[in-house]
Amino acid sequence: MASEFELIRRFFDRPARRGARTLLGVGDDAALLRVEPGMALAVSTDMLLAGRHFPEGTAPGALGHKALAVNLSDLAAMGATPRWATLAIALPVADEGWLSAFSAGLFALAQRFDVDLVGGDTTRGPLAISVTVLGEVPAEHALTRGGARPGDDIWVSGVLGQAAAGLAERQGQLRLAPQVAAPLRARLEMPEPRIVLGERLRGIASAAIDVSDGFAADLGHVLERSGVGALVHYAQLPGVRTGDAALDMRCVLAGGDDYELIFTAGQEARAAITALAGALDISLSRVGAIQAAPMRLVLLDAQGGQIAPPAGYDHFADLD
């Protein structure tokens, strides 16, 4: 069996694509990175555990993609341009077929966004994957959760609830024709980080977050950090349609793993945002408005009745 160092060299050491930016990558005690003058460094880490974040036996190529994609999504939500990543991985066995597919999935996405893998750690243990990404953003244009103001519009990219519907289908809670199920499963396994959208929202959006825990919970984080409330019309939310309206609503409001962006912007930005949707060929839906505190999230159905916002996924909820 290959040694730890042999594994790292074979599967995780690829030449940096940008010599000027990555002074030193994998192979030394630390990487050396050059941040462009005037840029702030945006840093984010996410951990994926077998059995909790993905089923044991998940295809390794999809896992390599997703481990990086969920982190890149956090940079997208900051308006940052991804530059570098590190990978900490615990493996029960050094299965070369598995490692080869995992690293191919990870590097395919890294290459698309010009991200250099510049270091990490490799140990033996129950399968766990932690990626840290580093990106650059002009500090004054970073999209935080704290900038939403009363009167701002609330926008959502893409379609919500597809990943959750894909999970429900995979778990047998929902029967769908294969051609309907396939794109939902693809959303679950191969999410697309909205990097270009995040970059183009610099100077336009007042706040942003990516949807990892569900629309209601993630918009709730923006409201809390911004000290505001929101009025949202459920019928305006771009949601998955499986034929089961109650399931659709759960998936749209509380389904995680979509990695779309929720952002807020002043009403004067409507034309710019519509133009951006056309330029990027991505749907951007205006779903509600930010209100003054102390109002929280108010969700209205088509008749104007109030829908109780469901809770998002909380790893510690069962420990209360």
Q: Whose CB is nearest to Mg ion? A: 121
What's the min distance (Å) between Cβ of 123 and Mg ion? Answer: 8
What's the min distance (Å) between Cβ of 197 and ligand ADP? Answer: 28
Q: Give the nearer residue to ligand ADP in terms of CB position, either 14 or 200.
A: 14
What's the min distance (Å) between Cβ of 127 and Mg ion? Answer: 18
Site size for Mg ion (CB under 5 A):
1
Q: Which stretch binds Mg ion (CB under 5 A): 25-33, 114-122, 202-210, 274-282?
A: 114-122
Q: Give the nearer residue to Mg ion in terms of CB position, either 28 or 114.
A: 28
What's the min distance (Å) between Cβ of 11 and Mg ion? Answer: 16
* Residues 121-160 within binding reach of Mg ion (CB under 5 A): 121
Q: What's the CA gap between 278 and 314, in Å, rounded? A: 35
Q: Give the nearer residue to ligand ADP in terms of CB position, either 122 or 285.
A: 122
Q: Give the nearer residue to Mg ion in terms of CB position, either 6 or 114.
A: 6
CA-CA-CA-CA torsion sign (171, 69, 250, 283) = negative
Q: Give the nearer residue to Mg ion in terms of CB position, either 26 or 211.
A: 26
What is the C-alpha R_g of the chain?
A: 20
What's the min distance (Å) between Cβ of 319 and ligand ADP? Answer: 31
Q: Give the nearer residue to Mg ion in terms of CB position, either 88 or 295.
A: 88
SS3 track for 255-318: CCCCCCEEEEECHHHHHHHHHHHHHHCCCEEEEEEEEECCCCEEEECCCCCEECCCCCCCCCHH
Residue 24 belongs to what H/E stretch? strand 22-24
Q: What's the CA gap between 2 and 8, in Å, rounded? A: 10
Sheet containing strand 306-307, edge to edge, reads 205-210, 261-265, 153-157, 284-292, 228-233, 297-300, 306-307
What's the min distance (Å) between Cβ of 130 and ligand ADP? Answer: 10
Closest residue by Cα to residue 88 from 59, 124, 40: 124
Region of 38 (left: φ > 0; alpha: ψ -120 to 50; beta: rest) is left
Q: Give the nearer residue to ligand ADP in terms of CB position, either 29 or 318.
A: 29
Token pair recorded at residue 230: 């929101």
Decide if residue 28 touches Mg ion (CB under 5 A). Answer: no
CA distance to 21, 79, 99, 165, 242, per residue, from 188 (Å): 33, 23, 21, 9, 15
Decide if residue 36 touches Mg ion (CB under 5 A). Answer: no
What's the min distance (Å) between Cβ of 122 and Mg ion? Answer: 8
Q: Interface with ligand ADP by CB under 6 A: which residues?
A: 8, 12, 26-29, 87, 89, 117, 119-122
Q: Give the nearer residue to ligand ADP in terms of CB position, either 8 or 77.
A: 8
What's the min distance (Å) between Cβ of 259 and ligand ADP? Answer: 23
Q: What's the CA gap between 207 and 222, in Å, rounded? A: 7
Q: Which stretch binds Mg ion (CB under 5 A): 2-10, 79-87, 118-126, 301-309?
A: 118-126
Interface with Mg ion by CB under 5 A: which residues?
A: 121
